[in-house]
């Protein structure tokens, strides 16, 4: 089958590129692991190695300030041979993670939930890219490749988010809940994707079975399932570690931001410069701010739950405490699903040039601050502002396009005309 041949070719080339980069430049993985743009304190591969080292030497990795990642990663990575001497197994794992992520992304594209969900048929729904093109956009995105080479655990989180979206858009409730609970277990904030994905799953199920089960029962069942899955994972972790202290060291660190290592997000410099007496207040405000998008978007865009989930990943890439370009790459890979919105977007050039500008100048300014000493922290801070601004422009602009698209269906007479917001 020609289609499958294309897919095999795509995956083969993508895997070959990754493995070639791993083997041809053996120092590249460690170099990229050290980049603050890719590795954050809660996802860094070097910190994971330290955690595995302490775990295999019977020191609790959570009784320290270095390791802040989920406990179940420890037995997984302790099974692999030491990446300092035999890196191939780890490299292969991360390549496979990327391929599985691309596969899930292609499943989302094939489900066509982006342009034609149950309750809404976009007037431009035939404007779309093939799933191969979307998969290639993910696999050959330079951000994805650098993320894969740097091996942060956010690659795993991204995989589970993509799988949960794919399963939700196929209406497979159990696997969706399981994948989302894994993603939330690893990174905590993906749990905020649950409301839109639950609606997506409900819509997909309703389309498939041609009957609408009561939404409330559906929601209750899935909430209970999610709670059970998460509870099971946490209980398993506690059994593994022998205590619950990992909660404070993993989720507590994400909530309270004790480690102010620079990253591409907005939090680290804000809380470096924050007055001590206001620290807790602003932590609360910032988290509330992130959470506030979930109900707003889910209610307003009830008819397009996949778009809500996509927009939320974009918001996470900007407004969570420890974002990295891995979060940005997840959002940027999901945006091409909404090819039909592109003609309605107004600031495409501005946003893409901002993102490109930040990606090129960011490492240079970081170098000026940390190594050359000819710049100060404000240089890198300014670039993180630009990066965040660029991503939030895309988020806002695509949201405008989605709403405008809905308007075109509701009031076809306004199509192509100038509109106002009141």
Partner 1 sequence: MRSFLPLLFFNYLIAFASAASDYYERLLLRPLPRSALLASFNFRSNESSASFDQQHFRYFPRSLGQILQHAGTKELHLRFSLGRWDAESWGQQPWDGAREGGTGVELWAWLEALSEEEAFARWLTLTNALSGLFCASLNFIDATKTIRPVMSFQPEGDHHNSSSLHLLHGTLPHEVVCTENLTPFLKLLPCKGKAGISSLLDGHKLFDASWQTMAIDVRPICGQDGTHCVLEMEQTVDMVLDIDRSKRPRDNPIPRPLPIEEIACDTSKHYNAEDTCYPLDKSAEPPWNLTDIFGRSLKGACPLTDEDGEGAKTVCINTPPERIIQANTTGQYVETRLASDTVRCYKLPTGADFDIDLPEQQMTTGLVLASPPLFAARSINGHGQERGSIQAVIRNPSFTDSVEFVYLESLPWFMKPYLHTLQARVDTSPSNPIKETYYRPAVDRHRGTHLELCMAIPPASTLTLTYDFEKAILRYTEYPPDANRGFDVAPAVIRLLSPGSSGKQGVYVRTTSLLLPLPTPDFSMPYNVIILTSTVMALGFGNIFNLLVRRFVGADEVQTMGAGGLQGVLRGRITRLRAKFTTG
Applying CB under 8 A, which residues contact partner 1?
34, 36, 46, 49-50, 52-54, 57, 59, 63-66, 84, 258-262, 266, 268-276, 289, 292-293, 296-297, 300, 315, 318-319, 369-371, 376-378, 381, 385, 388-389, 392, 395-396, 399-400, 403-404, 407, 411, 414, 417-422
**What value, to the nearest 5°, has the Cα angle with vertex 196 and ends 420 and 71?**
135
* Cβ nearer to partner 1, comparing 42 with 172: 42
In the complex, minimum distance from the CB of residue 251 to partner 1, in angstroms, rounded to a whole number: 15
According to DSSP, residue 171 is labeled: T
In the complex, minimum distance from the CB of residue 122 to partner 1, in angstroms, rounded to a whole number: 15
* Cβ nearer to partner 1, comparing 4 with 410: 410
d(CA 250, CA 225): 23
Q: Are 94 and 151 in contact (CB under 8 A)?
A: yes
* Cβ nearer to partner 1, comparing 6 with 375: 375
* Main-chain dihedrals φ then ψ at residue 172, nearest 5 degrees: -90, 95
In the complex, minimum distance from the CB of residue 278 to partner 1, in angstroms, rounded to a whole number: 9
Question: Would you list the DSSP string of 194-253?
Answer: HHHHHHHHHHHHHHHHSS---HHHHHHHHHHHHHHHHHHHHHHHHHHHSSSHHHIIIIIH
* Cβ nearer to partner 1, comparing 215 with 419: 419
Task: Report in angstroms the alpha-carbon separations of 39 from 147, 175, 290.
Answer: 9, 29, 21
In the complex, minimum distance from the CB of residue 325 to partner 1, in angstroms, rounded to a whole number: 17
According to DSSP, residue 357 is labeled: H
In the complex, minimum distance from the CB of residue 42 to partner 1, in angstroms, rounded to a whole number: 13
* Cβ nearer to partner 1, comparing 208 with 415: 415
In the complex, minimum distance from the CB of residue 102 to partner 1, in angstroms, rounded to a whole number: 29
* Cβ nearer to partner 1, comparing 162 with 308: 308
Q: End-to-end alpha-carbon separation of the chain, Å?
A: 52
Closest of 61, 46, 63, 68 to residue 253, by C-alpha: 68
Q: Which residue has the tokens 């289609």?
A: 3
Q: Give the Cβ contact number of residue 279 at 10 Å.
A: 13
In the complex, minimum distance from the CB of residue 144 to partner 1, in angstroms, rounded to a whole number: 24
* Cβ nearer to partner 1, comparing 120 with 160: 120
In the complex, minimum distance from the CB of residue 372 to partner 1, in angstroms, rounded to a whole number: 9
In the complex, minimum distance from the CB of residue 292 to partner 1, in angstroms, rounded to a whole number: 8
Q: Are 141 and 24 in contact (CB under 8 A)?
A: no
* Beta-carbon contacts of residue 370 (< 8 Å; ≥ 6 apart): none
* Cβ nearer to partner 1, comparing 7 with 46: 46
* Cβ nearer to partner 1, comparing 125 with 300: 300
* Cβ nearer to partner 1, comparing 11 with 287: 287
* Cβ nearer to partner 1, comparing 210 with 417: 417
In the complex, minimum distance from the CB of residue 244 to partner 1, in angstroms, rounded to a whole number: 16
d(CA 343, CA 341): 6
List the structure tokens of 205. 């199920």
Closest of 107, 120, 115, 295 to residue 194, by C-alpha: 295
Closest of 144, 395, 356, 365 to residue 262, by C-alpha: 365
In the complex, minimum distance from the CB of residue 344 to partner 1, in angstroms, rounded to a whole number: 12
Radius of gyration of the chain (CA): 21
* Beta-carbon contacts of residue 199 (< 8 Å; ≥ 6 apart): 298, 302, 305, 308
């Amino acid at each position: 089958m020609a289609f499958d041949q294309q897919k095999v070719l795509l995956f083969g080339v993508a895997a070959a590129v990754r493995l070639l980069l791993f083997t041809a430049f053996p120092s590249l993985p460690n170099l990229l692991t050290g980049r603050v743009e890719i590795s954050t304190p809660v996802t860094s591969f070097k910190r994971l190695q330290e955690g595995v080292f302490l775990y295999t030497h019977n020191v609790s990795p959570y009784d320290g300030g270095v390791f802040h990642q989920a406990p179940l990663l420890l037995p997984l990575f302790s099974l692999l041979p030491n990446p300092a001497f035999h890196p191939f197994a780890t490299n292969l794992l991360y390549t496979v993670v990327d391929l599985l992520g691309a596969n899930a992304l292609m499943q989302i594209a094939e489900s066509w939930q982006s342009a034609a969900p149950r309750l809404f048929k976009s007037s431009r729904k035939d404007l779309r890219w093939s799933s191969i093109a979307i998969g290639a956009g993910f696999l050959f995105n330079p951000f994805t490749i650098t993320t894969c080479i740097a091996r942060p655990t956010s690659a795993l989180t991204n995989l589970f988010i993509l799988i949960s979206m794919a399963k939700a858009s196929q209406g497979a409730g159990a696997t969706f809940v399981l994948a989302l609970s894994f993603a939330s277990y690893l990174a905590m904030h993906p749990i905020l994707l649950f409301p839109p994905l639950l609606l997506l799953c409900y819509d997909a199920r309703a389309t498939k079975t041609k009957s609408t089960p009561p939404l409330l029962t559906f929601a209750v069942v899935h909430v209970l399932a999610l709670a059970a899955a998460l509870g099971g994972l946490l209980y398993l972790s506690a059994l593994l570690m022998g205590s619950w202290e990992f909660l404070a060291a993993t989720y507590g660190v994400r909530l309270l931001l004790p480690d102010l290592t620079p990253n591409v997000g907005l939090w680290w410099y804000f809380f470096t410069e924050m007055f001590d007496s206001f620290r807790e207040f602003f932590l609360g405000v910032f988290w509330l701010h992130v959470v506030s998008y979930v109900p707003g978007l889910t209610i307003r865009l009830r008819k397009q739950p996949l778009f809500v989930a996509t927009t939320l990943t974009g918001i996470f890439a900007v407004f969570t405490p420890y974002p990295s370009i891995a979060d940005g790459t997840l959002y940027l890979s999901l945006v091409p699903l909404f090819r039909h919105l592109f003609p309605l977007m107004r600031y495409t050039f501005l946003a893409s040039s901002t993102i490109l500008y930040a990606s090129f100048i960011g490492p240079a300014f970081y170098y000026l601050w940390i190594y050359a000493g000819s710049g100060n922290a404000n240089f890198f801070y300014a670039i993180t502002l630009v990066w965040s601004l660029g991503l939030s422009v895309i988020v806002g602009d695509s949201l405008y396009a989605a709403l405008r698209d809905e308007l075109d269906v509701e009031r076809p007479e306004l199509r192509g005309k100038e509109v106002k917001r009141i």
